[in-house]
Structure 1
Amino acid sequence: MSAANKAAVRVALAGQSLIRHDPLPGAGAETLALAELLRGCDAAFTNFEGSIAGRFGGWPMKDKAAHGIAPALLDVLKNFGFTHLSLANNHAGDLGPNGILSTLEETHARGFTVAGTGPTLTAATQAGLGGGLAVVAMDAGPWDASVYASDGVEGGPGRPGVNRLKVSRRLGLPPEVLAQFATLAAQMGDSQRLKTRVAVGFQTPTPPGCQSFFGLTLEAAAAPEERWTIDEVDLARQEAAIAAAKATGALVIASLHTHHWPADWEKPAPWIPGLARHLLAAGADLFVGHGAPVLHGMDLIDGKPAFYGLGNFMFHSQRQSVRPHPSLWRSILAVPSFAGGRLIGLDIHALRLGGGDQARSDDRPGLWRGPEAAAFLRAWREETPPAGWNGGDGLLSLALGG
């Protein structure tokens, strides 16, 4: 049934899920209440951060933080109530193309609607569609090209991988600083090295008006700044997938994962709000960001919610160094409601995930209530533009009318 034909649709949107063990056995009231809430929604979405060690085999592609896990751990997401998964992220390729194929096989076997990876780029870009909700999921890196899907080059086979949205950075520098870099590049042989690599086809020329310095692209600016550019071909491919999904009558989630974080991880990268606007204009009903393991704010853009970063839902990181950071263990569950394909309301539930919390020694996500949860949501709300929020004690609600 399409979303437009239902009286009301509630969609749960969670942060990223990095799983190492099952948090449900022995769980307390907070976790069980969260699972009940997820199961009570028409659909529930998370970004699955991992690669399944399954039938296709594979090898760890990293020396650190490789998250290859057993297929049975996908049952954790199923038992919580999740129905839709983004697979486009930095851990999707942790076991190479083999892990991509095993993850697709095992998620499909459990009835998940998934998006963001595939045996080819065309397949990885296509929306996952189920239950009136479609997902177009993409990853903006920065990762090696081998992580990303390909339709094949020069008649060769396609490559299983992630749906790529290429984002590139230039450094804007004052002219006198640029001149210093140009002198250094010439003295150290980098300029000649670049000319040789371009001449033999190993590298593309530096864009007009720019100069290269040991792999960095530099251009003139009044003051030092980072300048970001989204690849037009990649963006058009995402927009076409969104439009095709919207044509089915489904509600559409545009999901972005990226590790291009600014110096302040508490804020989204400056190019993300503009991207959200593009994807919503292409037909998406929701924009959902993941990547930074902390919560970011949101906007309503032409009546559509854009969550720039939902932080974590489960964060079973192997890095003990992350545990003292409290912002990693606080997040939200967003539950927008739709009628006739239009947003009519939004609930925001405070979550705490254990981990670094001195009051909790486990890694179980759970609904968070009480004065501390109310203060947490109040601080988040103060950075969130829509007016008219109501509630407290761990729950905020926004009514938008029919």
Structure 2
Amino acid sequence: MRAAVEVLLLTLTACTSASAPEVEPTGSTPSSASSEPAPSEPAPSEPALPDPVLAVVGHATEPQLELSRAAYRRIVDGDLDRWRGRDVVAGIRDVERRPGAIAVVPLDEVGPTVVAARVAGVDPVRDDPRAVELVVGGDLMLVRGVPSAAGALRPLARRLRSADLAVANLESTLSRDGAPTQGGDSFGATPALLGPIRRAGLDVLSLANNHAGDYGPRALVETVDVLADSPVVPVGAGRDLAAASRPAYVERGGVRFAFVAFNAIGETPRATRTEPGALSVRMPPRTGPLVAADLRHVAAVVRRAARRADVVVVLPHWGTQYTHEPEDIQRVVGRRLVRAGADLVVGGHPHWVQGVDAVDGVPVLHSLGNLVFDMGPARFPVQAREGVLLEATFWGAELRAVRLAPYRMDPTTYAPRLLGGPDAAGVLADVWGASTGPYARR
């Protein structure tokens, strides 16, 4: 899935050796006499890998720079104030404040609030042998008007399967053993849906949303049980509060991840000590005002998970539908989750992409939009068929990079297809326009 360490080291070594030529000279092989060093000179050796390796970083909202070895050398030599219209500034904090600026920093200082340039085709963060890739998708609803679950998932399946770990929010049941609770907006499937989900490469599914209870408590518990008996791990719902509060623990590449999910929208019952439902936080705009006891409980779950795992990812179902702007209360709750130990917060429910905040360097993504949902053009604007995949790179417990891959769903099959060029830039502009701090496009 990623380049071999030898390729990475050789490329970066070549990039940082100021005396190394871009291309080996052609011609006859030098004679043995000419290749012997003079007695007074040290014997030649392979160029040493710098310690620490240097990275060129740009603003989080800018496309990733693609540098040749020669361009990389010119920038890291330190004798440039500007490069191709970009100011060369002192460090990461300066880049965070200035879109269009770049900086040279030690590779081990690179984090999710900046983007490291690729050098001669090598991404120094994602191609590092320590890298573990987590992909998170948005709201996934594969029934009702979606003609084929397998067909809808197929365009992104390779991207999901290539990650070390792939996660989404399942907006339906896997059982219809009960009466529908939301009329035509009751989303119920059978265990057969698990096949396309698994083949698409998903490893963890959040059930902490306003549709996990669409066919009543028995169907909710059966959905949890179907997933628990499969390779796909459920989180955020269960037969009682203890089960719904239980994090999903998954290990990849020597990194232990914990996922905690909660629903703030209602409709699915709140799990209690004796009744099934979703782990819930009552808060605006749908179930507010904020109930402090609910948030304290979730924060305690996050703290306990942080003691048992290297990385804690929190998946809230929150916010207002059909807007790019997060509610102020989402930012309040996001800060509390980070203080409790969350290393990444990734929200859903609004059906549109929303902005990104950084809380003490931890990204809080308020909504990734729909991954698959039957929101066709007859009733919904194009924003309901647009979203982003979050691609997060960890080195051990450290989050080193976040990238957003924009897509748009087909208006009849609802299959999401990755975008490029102006279309991708348009989706990302909706994200950055509602973001704050280092993720704001000023």
**Pairwise same-fold verdict (TM > 0.5):** yes
Question: Are 1:269 and 2:327 counterparts?
Answer: yes
Aligned partner of 2:139 in structure 1 is 16
Question: Are 1:369 and 2:420 counterparts?
Answer: yes
Q: Measure, in 2, the Cα distance between the counterparts of 1:367 and 1:320.
A: 19
Would the aligned equivalents of 1:303 and 1:343 in 2 still touch at CA under 8 Å? no
Q: Measure, in 2, the Cα distance between the counterparts of 1:276 and 1:310.
A: 15
Backbone CA RMSD of aligned residues: 2.6
| Residues 331 and 168 (structure 1), Cα distance of their counterparts in 2 relative to 1, 3 Å cut | closer
Could you tell me which of 364, 370, 379 is aligned with 1:322? 379
How far did residue 379 of structure 1 move?
4.5
Q: Measure, in 2, the Cα distance between the counterparts of 1:321 and 1:69.
A: 24
Which structure has the greater CA radius of gyration?
2
How far did residue 385 of structure 1 move?
3.7
Give the secondary structure class of the aligned counterpart of 2:413. coil
Deviation digits for residues 20-77 of structure 1 (CA, Å, limit 9, x no counterpart): 153444x7xxx756211111111111110011226xx222122231111111112222
Could you tell me which of 393, 399, 421 is aligned with 1:343? 399
Question: Are 1:35 and 2:157 counterparts?
Answer: yes
334-343 vs 270-279, which deviates more?
334-343
Letter in 2 for 1:377: L
- The number of equivalent residue pairs is 306
Q: Measure, in 1, the Cα distance between the counterparts of 2:169 and 2:332.
A: 21
Could you tell me which of 146, 150, 163 is aligned with 2:279? 163
Aligned partner of 1:94 in structure 2 is 214
Percent of pairs with identical residues: 27
Could you tell me which of 244, 254, 267 is aligned with 2:304? 244
Relative to the length of structure 2, the TM-score reads 0.64
Q: Measure, in 2, the Cα distance between the counterparts of 1:68 and 1:286.
A: 30
Instruction: Identify the structure with the greater strand proportion.
Output: 1
Letter in 2 for 1:347: R
Question: Are 1:278 and 2:330 counterparts?
Answer: no
| Residues 76 and 246 (structure 1), Cα distance of their counterparts in 2 relative to 1, 3 Å cut | same
Could you tell me which of 83, 92, 103 is aligned with 2:223? 103
Q: Measure, in 1, the Cα distance between the counterparts of 2:206 and 2:288.
A: 24
Aligned partner of 1:175 in structure 2 is none
| Residues 80 and 227 (structure 1), Cα distance of their counterparts in 2 relative to 1, 3 Å cut | closer
| Residues 17 and 168 (structure 1), Cα distance of their counterparts in 2 relative to 1, 3 Å cut | closer
Aligned counterparts, 1:351-366, within 5 A: 351-355=407-411, 361-366=412-417
Letter in 1 for 2:416: P
Structure 2, unaligned stretches of length 5 or more? 1-128
Aligned partner of 1:205 in structure 2 is none
Would the aligned equivalents of 1:114 and 1:135 in 2 still touch at CA under 8 Å? no
Would the aligned equivalents of 1:43 and 1:133 in 2 still touch at CA under 8 Å? no
Could you tell me which of 167, 181, 185 is aligned with 1:61? 181
| Residues 321 and 229 (structure 1), Cα distance of their counterparts in 2 relative to 1, 3 Å cut | same
How far did residue 329 of structure 1 move?
0.7
Structure ranking higher on relative contact order (CA contacts 8 Å, 6+ apart): 1
Letter in 1 for 2:272: S
Aligned partner of 1:384 in structure 2 is 435
Would the aligned equivalents of 1:39 and 1:81 in 2 still touch at CA under 8 Å? yes
Question: Are 1:113 and 2:233 counterparts?
Answer: yes
Would the aligned equivalents of 2:263 and 2:316 in 1 still touch at CA under 8 Å? yes
Relative to the length of structure 1, the TM-score reads 0.70
Would the aligned equivalents of 1:22 and 1:73 in 2 still touch at CA under 8 Å? no
Structure 1, unaligned stretches of length 5 or more? 1-5, 152-157, 170-225, 356-360, 391-402
